[in-house]
Amino acid sequence: MSEMRRRTKNGRGGSKRSGSVSLLVLLAGTSALLLLSAIMPTRALAQNIQAFSAQFRNFNGSEANTSVAPAALATGGKAIYDVTVTVPGNINTLFVTVSSTGDLDKRVNSMWLACLVDGKPCNSGSNSQVPAFTGWVKVQDLSPAALNSATSDNNVNYSWCTPIERHSPPDPLLHKVQLRLASGNGTNTVFLEQIHVFVNGARIAGKNSANACTLGTE
């Protein structure tokens, strides 16, 4: 009888220990789920910017140049850079940045840059120039009273954002990026050298979807 009582006590004690362990496992699992639920919304909103291309041109003494004027919707001028990038299907916004050194042949001239993705302007908006060239950005324009030395070796930097979507085969993930250079007066030559071009992308979605390369407010 004593032997049976001892066994019964031991059995009950083991059952209590087993129940405690199960409760701890349950509490740990619940805590992990709560932690994940707190983290997931933040991760959905905060997406890393991914780099798809980082290239340079004209670091050998040569210069990209043209005397052709800009025209509507990022046409005209001359193509100075082309690249094809493979972009994951979840990316919905591209960022294209150019950084270089530029020269104007004459003080009365101006320099223009345009960006196209898949043959469409990165931004087809107009500007304050008369006439306005949609899709183009004026990056250099000097006063007629400027010194001759002011026309040479000026820093030129600009960035565009543009929305993208997966498109038709043969490869829906490939996107073609092009930069164009133009001369404002269509007569005198403009020059760019030591050019860097960066193509990056991100997914701007969820509660921020309305901010994915859209018109901002004042």
161 forms beta bridges with 95
What topology does CATH give the domain 50-211?
Answer: Jelly Rolls (2.60.120)
Per-residue pLDDT of the chain (218 residues; tens, 9 = 90+): 445 455 444 554 555 555 554 544 444 555 544 444 444 444 445 568 999 999 999 999 999 999 999 999 999 999 999 999 999 999 999 999 999 999 988 888 899 999 999 999 999 998 887 778 999 999 998 877 677 767 888 999 999 999 998 887 778 899 999 999 999 999 999 999 999 999 999 999 999 999 999 999 98
Report the alpha-carbon distance of residue 202 to residue 96 in Å, rounded. Answer: 12
Report the alpha-carbon distance of residue 184 to residue 139 in Å, rounded. Answer: 10
Domain ranges for the chain, please list them. 1-46, 50-211
**Which of 180, 190, 189 is closest to 102 using CA atoms?**
190
Distance in Å from the first CA to the final CA of the chain: 89
